[in-house]
């Protein structure tokens, strides 16, 4: 089973729909979680009927005019919505053999509003005791100072970070190990670029015990300012790309600096985060040739 989550920063654009559909088909996604769709409720059904035939849509239009959170499911996985607000949808997911709780989060930019979300999550914890629980989405706050590209080593934990940290401690959840970048959001500015880790996949201890073979990867941001992520059960059935390994002995190769400089100085298009992804990806093959 593959669960895919992305803050798409608007889903009215046909190009963004095309990007999402490409991922859905490539990774055979079973549950699709979209954040910040900016789609009016009256247009949501048309989009689903046109592009996601056979999928069931869950949303939080009751609390948010522009559909801040969508969940689409298909196949053998049944989704039952348990609770929702302007910042989350909580549901029970089952395939008849296993079941788990899924919380899809799109937290507010406001610290006070996020505090309401943290309280709601802590209240909900009593309902999930005894079952695996995964929380995915855009939490709109970093957990540690180092999760910002502006980190210089001297910054301390802010009040908003402590709010978030206290919530995760109360929930007894932690980051699922993942592949891919630590920074998942970029301000997309040429001057004074800023990147942060705002998107996460969190799990409780029962998830780790029940789904020890699950895997997580964050992908390049593509047409959004956020990196999408996918979570895969039974990793042996759907293998994520193998992580790139840097070997220290490459540094001593006589052509090492030339290879780095030649590849890195080639022009690429896109925002700063996209450009960084493209350059790092392009650099892999020349480095492998040094073996």
Q: Is the pLDDT of residue 87 over 70?
A: yes
Q: Which residues contact 53 (CB under 8 A, 6 or more apart)?
A: none
List pLDDT tens digits, range 125-150: 988 878 999 999 999 999 999 999 98
Q: What are the structural domains, with CATH classification, of the chain?
A: 2-232 (3.60.10.10), 248-288 (no CATH)
Using 50, 70 and 90 to split pLDDT, how confident is the model at 258? confident
Residue 242, pLDDT > 80, answer: no
The answer to whether 49 touches 63, Cβ cutoff 8 Å, is no
Q: Which residue has the tokens 């999928």?
A: 55
Other Cβ atoms within 10 Å of 35 Cβ, number: 24
Determine which of 35-44, 172-181, 234-243 has the lowest per-residue pLDDT on average.
234-243
Element (H, E) at 33: strand 31-35
Burial (CB < 10 A; 0-12, 13-18, 19+), residue 39, is buried
Burial class (CB in 10 A: 0-12, 13-18, 19+), 202: buried
Mean pLDDT of 229-254: 68
Is-contact 54 38, C-beta < 8 A? no
Tell me the pTM.
Answer: 0.82
pLDDT of residue 272: 63
* DSSP single-letter state for residue 204: E
Is 101 buried (19+), middle (13-18) or exposed (0-12) by CB count in 10 A? buried
What mean pLDDT is reported for the chain?
A: 89
Banded model confidence at residue 268, pLDDT cuts 50, 70, 90: low
Q: Which whole number is the average pLDDT over 195-218?
A: 93
Of the ranges 26-30, 97-101, 147-151, 200-204, which is most confident? 200-204
How many angstroms separate the CA atoms of 58 and 230, rounded? 19
| pLDDT in the model for residue 274 | 56
- pLDDT per residue as tens digits for the range 45-86: 999 999 999 999 999 999 998 889 999 999 889 999 999 999
């Amino acid at each position: 089973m593959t669960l895919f989550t992305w803050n798409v920063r608007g889903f009215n654009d046909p190009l963004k729909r095309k990007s999402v559909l490409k991922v859905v088909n490539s990774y055979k996604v079973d549950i699709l979680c979209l954040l910040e769709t900016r789609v009016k409720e009256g247009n949501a059904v048309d989009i689903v009927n046109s592009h996601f035939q056979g999928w069931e849509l869950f949303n939080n239009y009751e609390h948010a005019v522009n559909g801040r959170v969508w969940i689409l499911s298909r196949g053998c996985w049944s989704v039952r919505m348990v609770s929702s607000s302007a910042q989350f949808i909580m549901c029970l997911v089952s395939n008849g053999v296993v079941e788990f709780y899924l919380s899809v989060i799109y937290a507010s930019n406001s610290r006070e509003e996020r505090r309401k979300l943290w309280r709601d999550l802590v209240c909900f914890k009593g309902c999930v005791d005894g079952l695996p629980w995964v929380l995915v989405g855009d939490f709109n706050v970093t957990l540690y100072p180092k999760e910002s590209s502006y980190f210089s080593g001297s910054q301390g934990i802010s009040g908003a970070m402590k709010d978030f940290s206290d919530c995760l401690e109360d929930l007894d959840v932690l980051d699922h190990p993942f592949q891919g970048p630590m920074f998942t959001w970029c301000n997309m500015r040429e001057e004074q670029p800023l990147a942060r880790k705002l998107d996460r996949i969190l799990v409780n201890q029962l998830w780790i015990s029940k789904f020890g073979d699950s895997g997580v990867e964050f992908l390049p941001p593509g047409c959004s300012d956020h990196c999408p992520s996918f979570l895969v059960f039974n990793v042996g059935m759907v293998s994520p790309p193998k992580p790139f390994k840097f070997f220290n002995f490459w540094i001593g190769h006589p052509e090492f600096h030339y290879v780095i400089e030649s590849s890195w100085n080639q022009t690429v298009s896109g925002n700063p985060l996209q450009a960084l992804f493209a350059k790092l990806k392009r650099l892999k093959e020349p480095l492998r040739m040094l073996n």
